[in-house]
Amino acid sequence: MDKLNSIFELRDMLRQLETDMGLGGLSRTERDVLLAAHSLSAGPDHIVTSNDLRDHRLVRLVPQATFYRAVRTLLGRGFLERAGDTRARAYVVRSDLVGPALPEAPA
């Protein structure tokens, strides 16, 4: 198998997993913001600030307007929630997305 075919196979599997998880309708930036928020979450109800998200390597190079547009979309679709009693621009990842890992696929 050549190198490009290996990359294709990985991207194809990733795209299928994203679709299975309900992320297929998100743009690349929206997926990256969601994944960055999740990686910064220590668990359910853990608050992630906009500044922390902006500093994450997945979204560091995303223009500010595009970043905030992605956050609005994620809020609107319910992937992110505004943190309760905090200042604006603080979020939590929907708790069922931060929960335990998916079960292993049967061999």
* 3-class SS of residue 93: strand
Q: How far is CA 86 from the centre of its chain?
A: 21
Token pair belonging to 52: 């922390």
What pTM does this model have?
0.80
Nearest to 67 by CA among 84, 49, 83, 85: 49
Token pair belonging to 17: 């997993």
Amino acid sitting at position 58: L
Q: What is the pLDDT along the chain (107 residues), one digit of tens a residue?
A: 688 999 999 999 999 988 888 888 899 999 999 999 999 988 777 889 999 999 999 999 999 999 999 999 999 998 998 887 766 688 988 867 655 555 565 55
b/e map 62-73, b = 16+ CB within 10 Å: beeeebebbbeb
CATH number of 25-98: 1.10.10.10
